[in-house]
Amino acid sequence: MPGDRTVGIHDLSFRTGSLVLTHAELSKHTGASLAKYHQGIGQRAMSVPAADEDIVTMAAEAAAPVIERHGCDRIRTVLFATETSIDQSKAAGVYAHSLLGLPSHIRVVELKQACYGATAALQFAAALVQREPEQQVLVIASDIARYDLDSPGEATQGAAAVAMLVSARPAIAAIDRPSGLHTHDIMDFWRPNYRETALVDGKKSLAAYLAAVEGTWRDYQNHQGLAIEQIRTVCYHQPFTRMAFKAHRQLLDTAGVSSSDTAIAHAITPTTRYNETIGNSYTASLYLALAALLEGDEDLDEATVGLFSYGSGSVAEFFTTRITPGYRTHLRTAAHTDVIARRRPIDYATYRRLREDTLPDDGTQHSLPHQALGRFRLSGIAGHQRLYEGFRPSN
């Protein structure tokens, strides 16, 4: 996409929950060895939302720095991707739109397809900007991963939101064509409307993920994609960080390239720094991997970086981005490091109480304690309506 047809990520910001449960603390309850968590699944801690945090507050926290840096005059669309939606009708992005003080002449839509939804939003945003290069699109991915207590998936939980500003002449990364696509109807992971926690068939989900890696790569090649040797490295959706290493092995095998475990570790480890301490954040996970890579030590000016997005059920996509020269001056490394460092550690008993305390579903008024560290919070619920507090910039 030469010249003024270049479209991509102009800014990227993320936020996570105010609390953190380490796997050292979790292991005291489960009796599992730390090696099972640290080496087995590649996780060291999980972000836990405070009682007054949800996908909306995290989304607003992630997006506010983007609005403050760039303003909102050119934003015409907000696309909110999540698989832990708070309402069957109203888009979570409408709440975030209000908290951020965005003007009324903006369309707001929520997208859903498991963990893949943010990539759909990013591609839809790129198409809108291609059509009208003077506009910008705010893409937000926000999720809280929850599994049944004492289940195998509990150790992979996490929470985060990523906000990306999509623009012509992007300062961080241009989105390339083509994409490789793959869809297969499979029940590997799902959450019916009547459940608060997801259901997962671990072995089936692993197989479906790896099949999607192969399927997307073959489709990418069938549409004249780049050779594997032209791609510096790949960021993967990380339901747990060891999954990215398995996926890269699958990609290389599919592309007919042999590689050592050491070489794979060298390629993938820089993408896991944030996910290993935040946990699975569903739609946000892939873009936390991208943030970790960009904010690492390696100079990526003009490098081509692949992205593999997977959403159970299943839909997947492989595409590439070209990193913009000088991208480092636009990153938020210090802010992201601080967001992770300032989380308050909790013990397992506190985590358990937070999990067991739920909002009323009968419409009665309920106030929440002020625990959130950020500018936005869920203050309570009344008459089946969620009540938010926080900084609302002027329009």
Per-residue pLDDT tens over the stretch 179-195: 999 999 999 999 999 99
pLDDT of residue 395: 44
pLDDT of residue 392: 67
Q: Quick one: average pLDDT of 326-353?
A: 98
pLDDT one-digit tens code per residue, 92-106: 999 999 999 999 999
Considering the domain boundaries, does residue 303 fall inside one?
A: yes
Q: Which residue has the tokens 């990380």?
A: 238
Question: Rg of the chain's alpha carbons, rounded to an integer?
Answer: 20
Q: Quick one: average pLDDT of 264-282?
A: 98
Q: Quick one: average pLDDT of 320-329?
A: 98
Q: Compute the Cα dihedral for 237, 239, 240, 244 and give only its sign.
A: negative
Q: Quick one: average pLDDT of 24-42?
A: 97
Closest to 172 (Cα-Cα) out of 286, 53, 328, 61: 328
Q: Which of 17-26, 118-127, 228-237, 384-393 has the lowest mean pLDDT?
A: 384-393
pLDDT of residue 272: 98
Q: Residue 356 sits in a domain of what CATH number?
A: 3.40.47.10
Q: How many residues does the chain have?
A: 395
pLDDT above 90 covers what percent of the chain?
97
pLDDT of residue 4: 53
Q: Name the burial class of residue 246, with classes exposed (0-12), middle (13-18) and buried (19+) by CB atoms within 10 angstroms of its CB.
A: middle
Using the CB atoms, write b or e for 134-155: b if 16+ within 10 Å. ebbbbbbbbbbbbbeeeeebbb
Task: Evaluate the omega torsion of the peptide bond into residue 270 and state whether it is cis, within 30 degrees of 0.
Answer: no
Considering the domain boundaries, does residue 395 fall inside one?
A: no
Helix (H) or strand (E) holding 217: helix 202-222
Considering the domain boundaries, does residue 212 fall inside one?
A: yes
Report how far residue 366's alpha carbon sits from residue 359's, in angstroms, rounded to the nearest whole number: 8
Report how far residue 294's alpha carbon sits from residue 323's, in angstroms, rounded to the nearest whole number: 9
394 pLDDT above the threshold of 60: no
Specify whether the CB–CB gap between 20 and 278 falls below 8 A: no
pLDDT of residue 393: 55
Helices 55-70 and 92-99: angle between axes, nearest 10 degrees: 50
Considering the domain boundaries, does residue 179 fall inside one?
A: yes
Widest Cα–Cα separation across the chain: 61
Q: Quick one: average pLDDT of 304-329?
A: 98
pLDDT of residue 5: 81
What's the number of CA atoms in the CB half-sphere (13 Å) around residue 250?
A: 21
Report how far residue 246's alpha carbon sits from residue 282's, in angstroms, rounded to the nearest whole number: 18
Number of domains present in the structure of the chain: 1
Specify whether the CB–CB gap between 256 and 329 falls below 8 A: no
Report how far residue 348's alpha carbon sits from residue 354's, in angstroms, rounded to the nearest whole number: 10
Q: Quick one: average pLDDT of 251-270?
A: 97
Q: Which domain holds residue 325?
A: 3-390
Average pLDDT over the chain, rounded to whole? 96
Catalytic (active-site) positions = 83, 115, 237
- Tokens in use for 108? 């707001």
Report how far residue 111's alpha carbon sits from residue 150's, in angstroms, rounded to the nearest whole number: 30
Considering the domain boundaries, does residue 236 fall inside one?
A: yes
Tell me the β-bridge partners of 304: 322
pLDDT of residue 2: 38
263 pLDDT above the threshold of 90: yes
Specify whether the CB–CB gap between 305 and 231 falls below 8 A: yes
